């Protein structure tokens, strides 16, 4: 829902527009607290949308744990995703180890309440630390209570191979963020699907072959969000081999 955060419709009406473009689930981000949970839940039901996941900042989860768990429990959303942690968390082996411990502790707390915790990458997690990608170290050093939402566009921009990451860590990656990017443009982390440098076809094909269920489209820098919603839906369905009605 980050892609359409600036649409002026009410939140339930935005959900309807998402469904109208052929999407079958949503990932909450921003604005979800604007409407009562029962209204959001009703809109999900009426539009046959799954509450796939929600992006929740780490600090919010730490400081407002009970409120977050209660709200997303009411929405039927049991997968919470840390959108990112800043680059200081990935600058050394010690920093990655501390980050892994912190995420594992939070993942254990959420697991006890029936929730899954994922971490969503940006670009700075793919620096080299003693011959390893910081991102791979994080995966290895976190407990199984922490999964990952691989953003294939941002991984590409960070210099990583998302297909190789999917093949190696599929058991830890239940969600894939389908994004496109311009690798050599520092100001364009996101572009419309198909307009960038990401090998979307290979990433989606491999992820599907590995049994990954959910593919989440995002274009966080769109200046025409309604059009991006439509185009992204069409492109995602094409990548997945889905024929629209």
pLDDT at 243: 46
Say if 37 falls within a structural domain.
yes
Q: How does pLDDT run across 48-105, given as a tens digit for each residue?
A: 999 999 999 999 999 999 999 999 999 999 999 999 999 999 999 999 999 999 999 9
Say if 12 falls within a structural domain.
yes
Structure tokens at 61: 């989860």
pLDDT at 78: 98
Say if 7 falls within a structural domain.
yes
Residue 191 DSSP class: B
Question: Mean of the pLDDT values across residues 118-141?
Answer: 97
Q: How does pLDDT run across 156-209, given as a tens digit for each residue?
A: 999 999 999 999 999 999 999 999 999 999 999 999 999 999 999 999 999 999
* pTM attached to this predicted model: 0.95
Residues 204, 206, 209, 215, CA torsion sign: negative
Return the number of other C-beta atoms located less than 10 Å from residue 6's C-beta: 12
Cα-flanking dihedrals φ and ψ of residue 70, to 5°?
A: -65, -45
SS3 of 116, please? strand
Q: In CATH, what number is assigned to the domain containing residue 116?
A: 3.20.20.150
Instruction: Specify the number of domains making up the chain.
Output: 1
pLDDT-derived band at 242 (thresholds 50, 70, 90) equals low
Say if 108 falls within a structural domain.
yes
SS3 of 8, please? coil
Say if 136 falls within a structural domain.
yes
Mean pLDDT, rounded, of the chain = 95
Say if 245 falls within a structural domain.
no
State which residues form the domain around 204: 2-240
Residues 217, 220, 221, 223, CA torsion sign: positive
Instruction: Report percent pLDDT > 90 for the chain.
Output: 87
pLDDT-derived band at 211 (thresholds 50, 70, 90) equals very high
């Amino acid at each position: 829902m980050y892609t359409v955060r600036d649409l002026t419709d009410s939140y339930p009406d935005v959900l309807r527009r998402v469904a109208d473009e052929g999407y079958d689930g949503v990932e909450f981000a921003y604005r979800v607290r604007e409407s009562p949970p029962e209204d959001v839940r009703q809109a999900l039901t009426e539009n046959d949308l799954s509450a796939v996941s929600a992006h929740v900042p780490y600090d919010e989860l730490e400081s407002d744990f009970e409120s977050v768990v209660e709200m997303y429990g009411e929405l039927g959303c049991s997968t919470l995703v840390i959108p990112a942690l800043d680059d200081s968390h990935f600058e050394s082996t010690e920093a990655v180890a501390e980050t892994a411990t912190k995420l594992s502790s939070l993942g254990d707390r959420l697991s006890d309440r029936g929730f899954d915790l994922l971490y969503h990458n940006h670009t700075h997690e793919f620096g080299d630390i003693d011959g390893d990608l910081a991102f791979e170290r994080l995966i290895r050093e976190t407990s199984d209570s922490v999964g990952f939402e691989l953003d294939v566009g941002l991984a590409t921009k960070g210099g990583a191979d998302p297909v190789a990451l999917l093949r190696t860590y599929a058991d830890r990656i239940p969600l894939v963020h389908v994004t496109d990017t311009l690798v050599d443009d520092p100001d364009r982390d996101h572009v419309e699907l198909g307009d960038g440098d990401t090998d979307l076809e290979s990433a989606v094909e491999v992820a599907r072959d590995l049994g990954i269920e959910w593919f989440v489209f995002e274009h966080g820098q769109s200046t025409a969000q309604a059009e991006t919603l439509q185009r992204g839906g069409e492109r995602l369905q094409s990548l997945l081999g889905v024929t629209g009605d």
